[in-house]
Amino acid sequence: MDMLTSKIFLRKTKRGKVLKVVREHYLRDDLWCGSDLCKKCNQENSEVLDDAPISSSTLCACPHYVVVDTNVVLHQIDVLESPAWKNVIVLQTVLEETRKRSTNNFKKLKEIMATRKDSFYVFVNEHHKDTYVERKPGESANDRNDRAIRKACSWYQTHLEESQQGREKKKKVQIILLTQDFKNREQALKEGIPAYRVDEYVKSLKDFPDLQEKLAASHSDDNAENREPLFPEHWAPTRIMTGIKSGKLLQGIFHCSRENFLEGSVSVEGQDKSILLQGHASLNRAVDGDIVAVELLPEDKWTSPSGIVLEDQEDQDPGDQIEKEEALLTNSTKGKDLQPTGKIVGIIRRKWRQYCGILLPSVLAEGTRHLFVPAERKIPKIRIETRQAATLSSQKIIVAIDSWPRTSRYPLGHFVRALGNIGDKDTENEVLLLEHDVPHHSFPETVLACLPSMPWMISQEEVNCREDLRNLDICSVDPPGCTDIDDALHFRELSPNLYEIGVHIADVSHFVRPDTALDKEAANRGTTVYLVDRRIDMVPELLSSNLCSLRPDQERLAFSVIWEVTPNAEIKKTRFTKSVIRSRRAYTYAEAQCSIDDPLQQNELAKSLRGLNKLAKIMKKNRMEKGALQLSSPEIRFEVSTETNDPIDVISKPMLDTNSMVEEFMLLANISVAEHIFKHFPECAVLRRHPVPPESNFEPFLKAGKTQGFTLDVSSNKSLAASLDAAVKPDNVYMNTMLRILATRCMMQAVYFSSGTVAQVDFYHYGLAAPIYTHFTSPIRRYADLLVHRLLAVAISADVTYAELLDRKCVQQLCNNLNYRHKMSQYAQRSSVALHTHLFFRHRVQDEDAYVLSVRQNALQVLIPKYGLEGSIYLKEKDEDSKSAFIYNPDEPSQTCDNITIRTFDRIVVQVSLDSKYVQHQKIAVHLVQPQIAGLSVEPIKTVNVSEPTPKKLKSGN
């Protein structure tokens, strides 16, 4: 017999190529049988298989060894755990087949074998020269394995026979095969191998009568490999295109629901209501952001969004199976609030990118197929193949999706790179920057080469062509710790009935010239991103924190807007000029407030602040009357420990008069500039608009108002502002804020645009109630302002123009990028806050006041104002039959248990902690404290620091 054979098989690669793989397969003649009675094998004493095995089986009275078939391991693994099993031979064929079919069972079998080494013997039959079988033409892999098992059995029989020729027949050890497969058993019996069903064998074990209870319901041997497609197919592109043209299909962007992974919606352009999608088949492998083609279902199948909050199973790998979803979805409230419902029939364009996340701990660490859990909740888990799971499991990694075949429960992807250890602040920061596509590499040489050389002085020629305002008492008011000061103010009385006020903005356009590397970099970055502990600059620090920043007592170039106004805040004259200024002082909001309030301070700066404040109040009142909205979103600040950089306390950002004073003048400057540049450049002015939200957006808001007994009028921004002001409840002060938070969520996103691309009626800024608006006042941190500066400079003949500036298409393209970057930077900032909230709660458990944002079928969404944190309280635990049966009233909506009813906006007390059950995937957990409900609420704890670890090495930084 040749000791070298080769295994040949065909394999399809990921790319669809067919490979012929040839593996050399070496056979050996030194693999022992593992039996004590054997005299042929050259093995040591004390083997696994006994010399004279004893079994209590009545079925097979003679001494015997047991060989188990693969299907026994697959279907009756629990039975195998019993100590009843002795002298079991596990063939390598069986091990490998099990491993391929079910990693869970494979792992269990390994465990059983490890703990009961004296009873289970692994025989490497695939490499034994006498038991290796080659696949025959026309034979399935399964049949071949069955044959290999039978071959091993008969080999054992003849092999043992030779060693026990002297024994009497009844004492001779036999080999019996246990199998669930009818065909295999038949065949074995034909070949003279005693074979039994596992259930009949187990039942015959008279010493272990309990064991048969463990028997799994007998499966008729199903070829478990389920390669049936799990999803409906996608239509061919041509069919989709004709469908869209004929109106049968709709095209739109797919958004996955944050709360229920089996639900999503498609927003179709020009349609008020988005289309609802429910269930795996309807979602049909769409990933959040994809452009998809949707077919509407007939109207009698329309439903409304289910009220339940559903997360894809956290901690296990279900394999390629789709869980039963009826139960998850049927609860959706039928009958009312029907929404157009549809199903996805094709993907027009994938918007896959690279995703950050972590690996799901796998049952089989040395396996190569793993599930990846993206940080973004809306993205499904991704199946990847990697051999380094052990090292990656503690790291944040980046993964890209490759495909999503019909037969796969999850999209298939591949590992791109590792970012660093989970929980590391640097890693997490990196994750959120990448996740939000924030360009954060350090500035390249070409960009730095565009910077002026230091030491830098304003040249005399520069002063000559600018207005010299160094004599004015100019000051700036900013948040504490601000180093990029881009605005400053002044105020003086020209006559008792005429004041002069000025807004001076850093002249960034002087440094960032068009068409330089610096300009391109800034245009790409679009905006400065403020994270809790880090700032990602739009322009290099030399400009942002020094040369452009309007530092006190330093001469700086500025772009000034100067008004002459009456004491009633009526504007008489507006002019724009490039200037040189010297700020007298950089106030913080609090300091400025002190100066205004302190009557003892009578210096020029304090006086001008008072004048400004007075005018600002009038201007604000006028603006409110026009219908400007005062909205609210919770904003917090972290106190950060100087040593460890970890957050140690949270404070809400206070709102002072001076905040709104500065804001008021910035608005005024922006509006004045917007009017001016639009007059000069009707085709290519960079403006900002805030579209009027469609009525349907307000639905959740109106519903919430109703529960509190308020009728809210959302017909215009003015009526909305009025009804918001009226909706006050003395016993629930925070209610109004909550309403405003909800109103904010109904709003559209404000966007930059080029004036030539939109009709003039649509320039309207809904939130500010201004017919025209732009951004002018923060050129250090926003590129749009820089464009506006350039336009304005051309308009007042202070600078020259260039081609791209006057091309409305180019401008619109720039605006699109700015809108995208702006949105992403906001998300990144929010994520940064969330990250720090995580860090903050790492060693804390706290009871906090919270308010119910919305009541869902199985959960309460709550807002904790102190941390601006939102969380869900699940009312029923997933598996257990809840003792605290809440009754959901979808009309109100409310949840009632016993005599306690929880409605929207109710104040409750919750306990906030960090759920570290999965070290890999920590999340903030919120538990109900008050009102107390047995089985759900937890014991109150008053600000206890649990297990605050003694800071081991503070030196390590963070």
Partner 1 sequence: MAEILLSEAEKAFIHHGVQDDLRCDGRTRLDYRPIILETGLVSNASGSSRLRLANSDVLVGVKVELASPLSEKPLEGRLEFFVDCSANATPEFEGRGGEDLANEICRFLQMSYMSGDTINLAELSVLTGQQCWVLYVDILILECGGNLYDTVSLAVKSALYTTQIPSIKVATMDGDQPELELSEDPYDTKRLNTQNVPCLVTLMKIGNHYLVDPTPEEECCSSSGVVVAVSGTKKITAVRKIGSGSLHPESLVSMLKTASEVGTVVNKILMTKLLEEERAGKTQKVGFMR
| 17 sits near partner 1 (criterion: CB under 8 A) | yes
Residue 352 binding partner 1, by CB under 8 A: no
Distance in Å, CB of 237 to partner 1, minimum? 6
> Which range of residues in 232-240, 256-264, 859-867, 927-935 is near partner 1 by CB under 8 A?
232-240
Stretch in the footprint of partner 1 (CB under 8 A) among 18-26, 695-703, 922-930, 945-953: 18-26
Query: Rule CB under 8 A: is residue 336 a binding residue for partner 1?
Result: no
Give the shortest CB-269-to-partner 1 separation in angstroms. Answer: 22
For residue 643, the tally of other CB atoms under 10 A from its CB is 12
1 binding partner 1? (CB under 8 A): no
Size of the chain, expressed as the number of residues it contains: 958
- Smallest gap from Cβ 31 to partner 1, in A, equals 25
**Would strands 354-359 and 369-374 be described as parallel, antiparallel, or unpaired?**
antiparallel
136 interacts with partner 1 by CB under 8 A: yes
Kindly tell me which of 140 and 889 has the beta carbon lying closer to partner 1. Answer: 140
Please, which residue, 17 or 170, has the CB nearer to partner 1? 17
Cis previous bond, 455, omega within 30: yes
> Of 230-238, 679-687, 809-817, 891-899, which part binds partner 1 (CB under 8 A)?
230-238
- 907-915 vs 844-855, strand pairing mode: antiparallel
Please tell me the distance from the alpha carbon of residue 756 to that of residue 765, in angstroms, as a whole number: 17
- Which of 110, 135, 377, 844 touches partner 1 by CB under 8 A? 135
What is the edge-to-edge ordering of all strands in the sheet holding 174-178?
Answer: 120-123, 88-91, 64-68, 174-178, 195-196
Widest distance between CA atoms in the chain? 130
User: What's phi and psi for 924, nearest 5 deg?
Assistant: -75, 130
Tell me whether residue 230 or residue 463 sits nearer to partner 1 (CB atom). Answer: 230
CB atoms < 10 A from the CB of 31, how many? 19
The amino acid sitting at 38 is C
Taking the CB of residue 50, how many other CB atoms lie within 10 A of it? Answer: 17
By the rule CB under 8 A, 350 interacts with partner 1: no
Would you say 136 or 336 has its CB closer to partner 1?
A: 136
Helix (H) or strand (E) holding 199: helix 198-203
Q: How far is the CB of 281 from partner 1 (least distance, A)?
A: 14
Does residue 229 belong to the site contacting partner 1 (CB under 8 A)? Answer: yes
Q: How far apart are CA 658 and CA 478, in angstroms?
A: 9
Handedness of CA 237, 243, 245, 250 (dihedral sign): negative
Would you count residue 26 as binding partner 1 (CB under 8 A)? Answer: no
Among 16, 192, 599, 949, binds partner 1 (CB under 8 A): 16
Least Å from the CB of residue 364 to partner 1: 23
Residues 272-331 that bind partner 1 (CB under 8 A): none
The answer to the question of residue 170 lying near partner 1 (CB under 8 A) is: no
In the complex, minimum distance from the CB of residue 18 to partner 1, in angstroms, rounded to a whole number: 6
Three-state DSSP state, 575: strand
Contact flag: residue 140 with partner 1 (CB under 8 A): yes
Stretch that binds partner 1, among 12-20, 623-631, 702-710, 924-932 (CB under 8 A): 12-20
Q: Is the CB of 240 or the CB of 505 nearer to partner 1? A: 240
Given CA atoms 531, 536, 541, 545 in this order, what sign does their dihedral have?
A: negative
The correct pick among 54, 141, 189, 655 for binding partner 1 (CB under 8 A) is 141
Q: Work out how close the CB of 285 gets to partner 1 at its nearest, in angstroms, rounded to a whole number.
A: 9
- In 3D space, the residue among 918, 923, 745, 958 whose CA is nearest the CA of residue 835 turns out to be 923
Non-local (6+) Cβ contacts of 827 within 8 A are 436
Determine the Cα–Cα distance for residues 244 and 235; give it in Å rounded to an integer.
12
- Residue of 3, 22, 648, 944 that binds partner 1 (CB under 8 A): 22
Q: Total number of residues binding partner 1 (CB under 8 A)? A: 29
Q: How far is the CB of 228 from partner 1 (least distance, A)?
A: 10
Residues 710, 727 contacting (CB under 8 angstroms):
yes
Of 130, 139, 320, 385, the residue at the interface with partner 1 (CB under 8 A) is 139
* Cβ distance to partner 1 smaller for residue 97 or 435: 97
Separation of alpha carbons 27 and 811, rounded Å = 72
Is 189 a binding residue for partner 1 by CB under 8 A? The answer is no
Mask: binding to partner 1, 650-669, rule CB under 8 A, as x and -?
A: --------------------
CB 110 within 8 A of CB 148: no
The region, left, alpha or beta by phi > 0 then psi within -120 to 50, assigned to residue 645 is left
CA atoms within 13 A on the CB side of 887: 7
166 scored as a contact of partner 1 (CB under 8 A): no
Contact between 237 and partner 1 per CB under 8 A: yes
Q: Which is nearer to partner 1, 61 or 224 (CB)?
A: 224
What is the DSSP code (8-state) at residue 246? H
Residue type, 729: K
Please pick, from the candidates 233, 272, 643, 683, the single residue that binds partner 1 as defined by CB under 8 A: 233
H/E element, 503: strand 498-506
Tell me the window of 67-75, 129-137, 716-724, 877-885 that interacts with partner 1 (CB under 8 A): 129-137
Verify binding: residue 12, partner 1, rule CB under 8 A.
yes
Min dist CB 137 to partner 1, Å, is 4
Residue 404 CB, nearest distance to partner 1 (Å)?
9
Among 1, 4, 20, 934, indicate the residue that binds partner 1 (CB under 8 A).
Answer: 20
Q: Is 247 a binder of partner 1 (CB under 8 A)?
A: no
CB under 8 A: which stretch of 15-23, 100-108, 253-261, 923-931 binds partner 1?
Answer: 15-23
Of 382, 392, 388, 384, whose CA–CA distance to 421 is shortest? 392
Given the complex with partner 1, which of 223 and 271 has the nearer CB atom?
223
| 405 interacts with partner 1 by CB under 8 A | yes
Cα–Cα distance for residue pair 327/810, rounded to 1 Å: 52
Pick the closer one to partner 1 by CB: 294 or 873.
294
CA–CA distance, 540 with 517 (Å, rounded to integer): 12
**17 or 336, CB closer to partner 1?**
17
Taking CB under 8 A as the criterion, the residue among 18, 465, 761, 934 binding partner 1 is 18
- 346 binds partner 1, rule: CB under 8 A: yes
Q: String of b and e for 785-820 (b: at least 16 CB within 10 Å)?
A: bbbbbbbbbbbeebbeeeebbeebeebbebbebbbe
CA distances (Å), origin 577, targets 152, 559, 670, 684, 949: 95, 6, 15, 21, 59
Cβ distance to partner 1 smaller for residue 295 or 675: 295
Among 77, 347, 824, 875, binds partner 1 (CB under 8 A): 347
Q: What is the torsional sign of CA 420, 425, 426, 432?
A: positive
3-state secondary structure of 260: strand
Q: Nearest-CA neighbor of 413 among 359, 347, 346?
A: 359
Kindly tell me which of 2 and 880 has the beta carbon lying closer to partner 1: 2
Binding status of residue 224 toward partner 1 by CB under 8 A: no
Residue with tokens 């140690």: 648
Interface with partner 1, residue 470, by CB under 8 A: no
Q: Which is nearer to partner 1, 237 or 940 (CB)?
A: 237
CA angle 908, 912, 913 (to 5 degrees): 160
CB nearer to partner 1: give 3 or 54. Answer: 3
Contact 636, 868 (CB under 8 A): yes
Residues in touch with partner 1 (CB under 8 A): 6, 8-12, 16-18, 20, 22, 135-141, 229, 233-238, 346-347, 405-406
